[in-house]
Amino acid sequence: MTVLDLKTASGVVKVLTHDSSDNRPESLSDTTWRAFLPVGDKLVVASVTGFTEHPLDQRNGLAQLDKFIAAIEKANP
Tens-of-pLDDT digits for all 77 residues of the chain? 899 999 999 899 999 999 888 888 888 889 999 999 999 999 999 999 989 898 888 899 999 999 999 999 999 98
Q: Tell me how crowded residue 8 is: count the other CB atoms within 10 A of its CB.
A: 10
Q: Is 35 exposed, middle or buried (0-12, 13-18, 19+ CB in 10 A)?
A: buried
Q: Specify the length of the chain in residues.
A: 77
What does pTM read for this prediction? Answer: 0.86
Residue 65 CB partners (closer than 8 Å, separation 6+): 14, 33, 34, 35, 46, 48
